[in-house]
A and B are shown apart, each in its own frame.
Chain A
Amino acid sequence: MRGAAAVFTKDLYGELRTRYAMNALIMFVVVTLSIILFSTAGETVSPSLSAGILWIIIFFAAMSGLSRSFVSEEERGTTMTLQLWVKPISVLLGKLAFNALLIYVLNAMIIIAYLLTMPTFTIQSPIVFLLTIVLGSFGLASASTFIAAIISKANSKGTLYPVLSFPILLPLLMSVIDATRLSVEGASITDAADDLKIMISYAVVVTTISILLFDFVWRD
């Protein structure tokens, strides 16, 4: 656990020092959001459609930001050092914690920007929405951290990342989009219970399988 905390702190300090990932991601979100706003100018976007668009932004923002956690270690040639100093599971948990934090901060910003610019996107049931974001983002972080570990060993990392992640993330994306739609339409928590259960079990299953299999990915 101390190893995991050390990896997490290292990544956090690295990020705070350069703000590389955060700056790039903020620009990515601004660009994507403005394209969406330009293309929907003068249209009334239905609430259910706006729920889908929100997750498109989150998905691609995650795809452009989260792979860095492992890719940067390969690029800087620091993988060996990490292999020497910390246990594989600590690396995975530390990176997962950092990616989860990154995506929570990012999602908070995306949602604020989205609420301000999308007039039809009004959250009727805040609890459902909050739970969806908290659980959905964790599942997203969990799956994408593990896929990032896989692609960091491959060539053409950038293009490979969304290709490998999408089939894995699709069940999660379908349930978060459904739950977000429900929260915009003002459904109660019992209506969204099925979606929330899927998000919880998805996060548990994916985190468990990544802990079990990470050894194979990490060891050279």
Chain B
Amino acid sequence: MKTWLKIVIGVWIAGVVALGIAMPIGYIPGLGERARIIFFHVPMSWLAVLAFFMSMWYGIGYLRRRDIKYDIKSATSAELGFIFSVLATITGSIWAKFNWGSFWNWDPRETSIFVLLLIYGAFFSLRSALESEEKRATLSAVYSIVAFVTVPFFVFIMPRMMTGLHPGEGSPAPIVNSNGKMYMDMNMRYVFYASLIGFTALYIWLFQLKTKLSLIAYGLVADKK
């Protein structure tokens, strides 16, 4: 990645953080100032899912082409996704303590991120238990596909198990409601999208950096000083 692009990402995210904390957001029923978490927590959850999808995508790439580079990319994406899902869980949990009264409530989305964490954990345990590189790449790719295929069932099961607590589910829907209509004012919406873009760019940068490192470690790319 070009140096100027890295600087742009740095400045961009700094701007998003500053605006997300300091910008006036208006009164939101039931949430108030706590609504600011949307600028940080939602991008984390989005990246947790995106990174898992990319990990599976590169896994499929490995199965098709049998090139170890795809496996390295798949593992890298899973590692980053794991960090983002931990961050999403922690930020969400702290927020839940102040908004819902306890750190953990088994709300549908909390359950989903919990399952995602379990899948990441299983993925890494599987990888560490396989010695042969080829087997590790194949089997972890297969496992991530199976995991990805069973996850959509939660969409049908969750709503009947428990009602959602997240803003946008249930009767008070201050920010996003089921019609898909957003009750964010314009400024808030811009910062939210800017945050999504900024953190996704950060993910891409981290992904390229980590991939390059792993490729060097595997001796696939000469270390250019």
Secondary structure call for the A interface? helix
CA–CA, A209 to B149, complex, Å? Answer: 8
CA distance A216 to B134 in the complex (A): 11
Contacts of A160 in B (CB 8 A): 125-126, 129
Contact B115 A213, beta carbon cutoff 8 Å = no
A210 to B154, CA, bound (A): 20
- Chain B: which residue is nearest A159 at the CB level? B125
**Contact indicator per residue, chain A 203-216, by CB within 8 Å of chain B (1) or not (0):** 00110011001001
Cα A147 to Cα B139 in complex, Å, equals 10
Residue interface bits B54-88, CB-to-A below 8 A is 1, else 0 = 00000000010000000000000000000000000
Contact with A along B136-179 (1 / 0, CB 8 A): 00110111011101110110110011000000000000000000
Selected contact of B160 from candidates A153, A156, A164, A178, CB within 8 Å:
A178
The interface of chain A, by Cβ under 8 A from chain B, is: 143, 146-147, 150-151, 153-156, 160, 163-164, 166-168, 170-172, 174-175, 178, 194, 198, 201-202, 205-206, 209-210, 213, 216-217
Q: Could you list 28 A-B pairs, sorted by A, with CB under 8 Å?
A: A143-B146, A150-B142, A153-B135, A154-B129, A155-B130, A156-B129, A160-B126, A163-B122, A166-B118, A167-B115, A167-B150, A168-B146, A168-B150, A170-B115, A171-B150, A171-B153, A175-B153, A198-B153, A198-B156, A201-B153, A202-B153, A205-B149, A206-B146, A206-B150, A209-B145, A213-B145, A216-B141, A217-B142
